[in-house]
Every structure is written in structure tokens, then in C-alpha cells.
Amino acid sequence: MSLYGMMRTGVSGMNAQANRLSTVSDNIANSSTTGYKTASTEFSSLLMPQTNGSYNSGSVETEVRYSISQQGSLTYTTSDTDLAINGDGYFIVQDSSGQSFLTRAGSFTTDSDGNLVNAGGYTLMGYSYGDDEPSVVANGFAGLEAVNIGATDMQANASTDATFSANLDAGEEIVDSGDAPASGYSGSTDDVDYSHKSSLTVYDSLGNEVILDIYFTKTDDNTWEVAVFNKADADADSGSFPYANGPLSTEDLTFDPDTGALVDGSTSTITLPADFATNNPEALNIDLSGMTQLGYDFSVTEAEVNGNGASVVTGVEIGADGTISAKYDNGDTTPLYQLALGTVTSPDQMDVISGNVYRPNTESGDLQIGFAGQTAFGDIISGALEDSNVDLASELTTMISSQRSYTANSKVFQAGSDLLETLVNLAR
């Protein structure tokens, strides 16, 4: 063994311990950083070829590893846009250049443009609801866009779909079709005969309420006429007939005499034309598939419509599945985005980038994207943050151990230096 080799081994030991102390210092400094994952230094030996009767000292190598897959504890906050993941998965974020990354740092706030941005300056990404419920691009970032909650000003949404279900009394007497509302709407109240009446409130494109009067008339055994009128056309004194205009839609419902349910082939949806209200560019479909005809009093079991009146946005609501909805002062909610989560086969192998974000690589495995609550992903918790997974007691213990190991390696170097000085003095 050469003296220089011994000294180089001592130096490699000091460098290794210095690397270990560097990860300890990073961990301690980031012990309060949201979503930070502990770094650790692993050692491996590097041996030199040996000869008989002589030992050649090698050195020690280090590799830094991150416990990215280890979840930290959750701290609850008062901000709805603070997000944490309880389980597997990572938020998908994007930097200013358009590159996408994964992160567990969910301390999001709105920037000047209304985008949700975390403390590292990365923008949260999700799928826009648009006209349909979003679907996932399972193996890439295509289709994702910045989550923007700043453009949710006062708005109104026209009703396009409704569901109305009720039981029609099977014991009602048959009404002559000529006296039913569809035919006698222009006559007086005494001239029109019907079995049951109900009303449904919907919204036009400006958020105005439109009341629909719905009449059910038994015109034959197991056959009912359904006629829908605009309440605005009703007589001001009677509140019903005569109507200034005819029915918006008229259909016949046919029921099974044995079960009381609609028979196959019977009308189950009625459609009101796009101009059923003054300010309405879209048609309205009313689902009647839940109607029944049983020997019981008329009773409405379901009446739901989409759309909403003009209302001011008061905040956002984020569900466990990652759906971000605007909350209005009238109590309505409108879905805006659904957050996507990403994961890889070996998260601990991902590249670590400044700002608590991670980049998948060949060693970490292929990227998989999905929604919270699905098989490979945990739930999203609004109003919570994931703490760093740093254990301060463990880090302080490691620091003491590394300090002593560094000192011991320096003694090896010092001993080699003393021996080398003795050897040099022999030549004097």
C-alpha cells in the first residue's frame, strides 16, 4: 500500500461524509418546506486490484437518493386552494417555458392572471370541463391546460336538460281529447279538462327564470297526454287558461297496465324548441323516463334542471376526485376543471428539480395519468398541505455520526502525511 493511496482513501472518505452532511443540511433547511422529500446519502466501496503480500487501498463512492414515494403528514389550513394528496400520485404542474413536472407541493394561490400557482412558481394543470365531462390522456400531458379560476365572473347558464318524474293516479277518469289542454288551451278554465298539473322552473340564457306549466291528462286507458306551456302565456287573472300561445310540446305517454311503468317504445323525453323562451338559443330536453301510473295520488318524485340564474362567484370548491367547481352566491356550483394526477413505476428514481418538482425518466418508468380516487391514485384533500417527510431527530443523529466519521478520515490523512514527512526526513 502506498502512502499516497492511503491519503487518497482518507480524502475520499472525507468527501463522502461531506456529501452526507450536505444532504443533512438540505433536509434540515427544508424541514418546513411543503411537500419536500428527504435526501439521503448511500455509500459503496471502490476496491483496487490486490497483489500477494500487498494491499492497495481503494475509496468510497456516494449516491444521493430521495424518498419521493414516502408521504409526509398532513396539516390543515383555511385556504380552499391548498391541496394535498392522501395516497399515491402527484400533481401535474408546468413552468413558464411549458415543461410539465410532477409535485406534491400543493400550496396553490392565484396569480395576476387567475392561474393557480404554487410557492415554487409552477402552474397547476388540469382538464377543462367545457361541454362534456373530461377524459384522461393516460400516458402523456396532452389535453391539459392551466387551471384558471380568475375568469369566473358573474354568469348565467341556460337550462338544456331536465328530469321530471311523478306518479299519475291510475284511478283518474278518462278525459275527452278535445277538452285536453293541447286542444282547448285558448278556451276558458271551464272549457279545459285535465287530470294533474305541476310546474317546473328553468333558466334562459340571460339567467331569467322561466316557469313551465306541465299538464297530464288521461285520454285513454293507460294513455296520458302531457302538454307543456310557458307560464308567461297564461291568463293574468286565472293564472292558467286561456294561454296566449299553444303548448311548447305535446306528447303521449303509454304505460304497462301490469307494472305501471312506461312501455317500451313510449315517449320518455319531450323536447322544447330553442325559442321556448325569449332569450334562449338552445332546446330543452325533459326526461320523463321515471314516470309511473299507479293507484295512488299524483305525486312528484323528482324535478331537476341544469343551468342557473345570474349569480356572482363567491369562491371555488375542490372535491376529493379533483373536480374544481365555481360556487355562486345563490348556492349553485358549476364544474370548471378536473385535476389530473400522475405517477410512475419507481417514483424514487425521478429527477429532482428545484422548486420541489420531479421529472420522470427512463429509470423511473413510464408516466401514468388518471384522476384522484382511481386505483393507482389517492384522494385530493382541499384545505390541507403535505408536510416534508424529514425526521429532525434522525437528521441530527446522522449529522453527529458523519461529523465523527469525517474526523476519523481526517486522522487517516494526517497519519499518512506524518509518515510521508518521516520518509522525506530520512533523506536529509
Q: What is the rounded CA–CA span in Å between residue 335 and residue 319?
A: 10
Q: What is the rounded CA–CA span in Å between residue 268 and residue 292?
A: 11
Q: How are beta strands 161-169 and 292-294 bridged, if at all?
A: parallel
Average pLDDT score over residue span 376-398:
94
Of the candidates 152, 157, 272, the residue with the CA atom closest to the CA atom of residue 212: 272
What pLDDT does residue 51 have? Answer: 67
Indicate the pLDDT class of residue 173, thresholds 50, 70 and 90.
Answer: very high
What pLDDT does residue 156 have? Answer: 80
- Look over the chain and give the mean of its residue pLDDT values, rounded to a whole number: 89
pLDDT at 1 over 60: no
Residue 7 one-letter amino acid? M
DSSP per residue, 268-329: -EEEE-TTSSTT--S-EEEE-TT-EEESS--EEEEEEE--EEEE-EEEEEE-TT-EEEEEET
What pLDDT does residue 250 have? Answer: 95
What pLDDT does residue 6 have? Answer: 78
Query: pLDDT higher for 365 or 11?
Result: 365
Q: What is the rounded CA–CA span in Å between residue 215 and residue 29?
A: 71
The whole-angstrom distance between residue 232's C-alpha and the CA centroid of its chain comes to: 41
pLDDT at 21 over 90: yes
Q: How are beta strands 123-128 and 145-146 bridged, if at all?
A: antiparallel
Indicate the pLDDT class of residue 315, thresholds 50, 70 and 90.
Answer: confident
Domains defined along the chain, listed by start: 3-67+389-425 (no CATH), 78-154+341-386 (no CATH), 156-310 (2.60.98.20)
